[in-house]
Amino acid sequence: MINGVPQLEDLGDLTGKRVLVRCDFNVPIRDGKITDDLRIRAALPTLRWLQDHGATVTACSHLGRPEGKPDPDYSMDPVRDRLAELAPGVSLLENLRFDPGETGDDESFVARLVEGQDAYVNDAFGASHRSHASIVGPPRTLPSAAGRLLEKEVEVLLGCRNEPRRPFISILGGAKVSDKLGVINALLDVVDGLIIGGGMCFTFLAAQGHQVGSSLLEADQIDTCRELLASDNAIHLPSDITALGPGGRIGDPSAGGEVRQFGRDLPDGWMGLDIGPGTAAEFSDVIGEARQVLWNGPMGVFEDPRFEAGTRTVADAVADCGGFTVVGGGDSAAAVAQFGLADQIDHISTGGGASLELIEQGDLPGLAALRSASNAN
Ligand code: 3PG
Ligand code: MG
């Protein structure tokens, strides 16, 4: 039992028992093929532990956002095939979100899910910030526990938040300030430095009075950014920007358009798509001094080779950092994998939104549900 959340050991003797395991098998799929099976491999310790202890295991997950009706594009078939290779004998239900009862936490949908099951395990860290039927429903009736992945993620991320090794540097990127406002506020309470890159840096630069050209800008967040900058000097912003000129297209170098470096101000028509080399070096120096790093969100549009340098330099700095390093969020985890640095990171979280919400709130709906199961306490 960790903080009142039951563990696998708290399920008692599982010999001959049927166990339903909620996993987050929401994996990237292109042309019917899984392009990254991290989330499937991450669930194996729990699935194998249950099988080794005599249980018959049924896994379930959502995949994508199919809006409450069956949709062949979101079928679990590719996941089922991969799972059969990695964990023979584990069966897998069809996409939970083919039924509107999943996102609606509908009682009758929960009843169908738990029918015939003797116990429930939540190992879906990446979906545990959703109050959906398969996450919060089963613990109302079944003995329940956190799986090994969920347990590990919570231990690492809450450890970063509650007992940081200092200096603690956090790196945030991604498109929108509005999505990350909660976590920015929570992080500013605990970090020694907050590095901001990615699309959202332009709203901060605009708040300082800079010209951002055609870059992403959330005009309604400028005042909030100004207040954050005024109240906290822990925020590090870019001092130079790599931008794409008029006529260029993201992800399509053949369309033309000039790529150039500027300081903090961009001319009209230019779109900032990466931090510049000076900024990447400055950020790397800050990261190099850290004893704990938490990174969520790329520094630029790294899928386009013209704008990957900033994210690559920051990824190198995180990989080289002697402190404890954690990367969360699908995009930054994908960047680290693309650059071949995954095994130089201490913890790569399988959750994006879930890791941010856990840092922000210190808890998740999926954990609260497990704490209220009949076998907790
Ligand atoms: C994710 O990939 O972020 C999780 O699987 C949750 O998916 P969702 O954002 O569609 O709820
Ligand atoms: Mg998401």
- pTM exceeds 0.85: yes
Pairing state of beta strands 18-22 and 56-60? parallel
Cα 84–Cα 90–Cα 92 angle in degrees, nearest 5: 85
pLDDT at position 377: 75
Distance CA 47, CA 56 (A): 10
pLDDT at position 329: 79
- The predicted-structure confidence for 64-75, as pLDDT tens digits, reads as follows 999 999 999 999
Q: Name the nearest CA neighbour of 146 among 265, 333, 332, 1.
A: 1
The answer to whether 242 and 310 have CB atoms below 8 angstroms apart is yes
- Would you say the CB of residue 328 lies under 6 angstroms from ligand 1? no
**Who's near 132: CB < 8 A, 6+ residues apart?**
62, 96, 102, 103, 105
pLDDT at position 231: 87
Of the residues 62, 76, 123, 296, which should be mutated to test ligand 1's pocket, given the most ligand atoms within 8 Å of the CB? Answer: 62
Question: Can you tell me which atom of ligand 1 is nearest the CA of 26?
Answer: 5
**What mean pLDDT do residues 142-151 have?**
98
Which residues are in the CB-under-5-Å shell of ion ligand 2? 353
Question: Can you tell me which atom of ligand 1 is nearest the CA of 64?
Answer: 10
**What mean pLDDT do residues 122-151 have?**
98
Q: Is 232 left (phi over 0), alpha (psi -120 to 50) or beta?
A: beta
Ligand 2 center to 330 CA (angstroms) = 8
Instruction: Categorize the per-residue pLDDT at 364 as very low, low, confident or very high, splitting at 50, 70 and 90.
Output: very high
Catalytic residues: 39, 176, 330, 353
Distance CA 342, CA 352 (A): 16
Q: Name the nearest CA neighbour of 128 among 108, 149, 107.
A: 149
**What mean pLDDT do residues 31-38 have?**
92
Q: Which residues pair with 91 in a beta bridge?
A: 58
- Would you say the CB of residue 331 lies under 6 angstroms from ligand 1? no
Distance CA 320, CA 305 (A): 22
Q: Name the nearest CA neighbour of 367 among 2, 1, 5.
A: 5
Helix residue ranges per DSSP H, the chain: 38-42, 44-52, 77-86, 100-103, 107-114, 133-136, 148-162, 177-190, 201-207, 222-231, 277-288, 309-320, 330-338, 353-361, 365-371
**Who's near 210: CB < 8 A, 6+ residues apart?**
264, 265
- The predicted-structure confidence for 225-280, as pLDDT tens digits, reads as follows 999 999 878 999 999 999 999 999 999 999 989 999 999 999 999 999 999 999 99
Which two three-digit tokens encode residue 18?
């049927």
Instruction: Categorize the per-residue pLDDT at 331 as very low, low, confident or very high, splitting at 50, 70 and 90.
Output: confident
Instruction: Categorize the per-residue pLDDT at 84 as very low, low, confident or very high, splitting at 50, 70 and 90.
Output: very high
- pLDDT at residue 175 is higher than 90: no
Residue 5, CA distances (Å) to 11, 148, 371 in order: 12, 12, 5
Out of 53-62, 142-151, 321-330, pick the least confident.
321-330
pLDDT at position 1: 67
- pLDDT at residue 362 is higher than 70: yes
pLDDT at position 151: 98
**What mean pLDDT do residues 21-38 have?**
94
- Would you say the CB of residue 166 lies under 6 angstroms from ligand 1? no
DSSP calls for 121-182: EE--GGGTTS--HHHHSGGGTS-EEE-HHHHHHHHHHHHHHHS--SSEEEEE-SS-HHHHHH
Q: Which ligand is nearest to the CA of 351?
A: 1
**What mean pLDDT do residues 195-214 have?**
97
Helices (H) then strands (E): counts for the chain: 15, 16
Ligand 2 center to 334 CA (angstroms) = 14
- pLDDT at residue 348 is higher than 70: yes
Ligand 1 center to 64 CA (angstroms) = 7
- Would you say the CB of residue 67 lies under 6 angstroms from ligand 1? no
- Would you say the CB of residue 130 lies under 6 angstroms from ligand 1? yes
- Would you say the CB of residue 126 lies under 6 angstroms from ligand 1? yes
**Who's near 175: CB < 8 A, 6+ residues apart?**
198, 199, 200, 216
Supply the mean pLDDT for the chain: 96
Instruction: Categorize the per-residue pLDDT at 158 as very low, low, confident or very high, splitting at 50, 70 and 90.
Output: very high
Tell me, letter by letter, the H, E, C secondary structure of 342-366.
HHHCCEECCCCHHHHHHHHHCCCHH
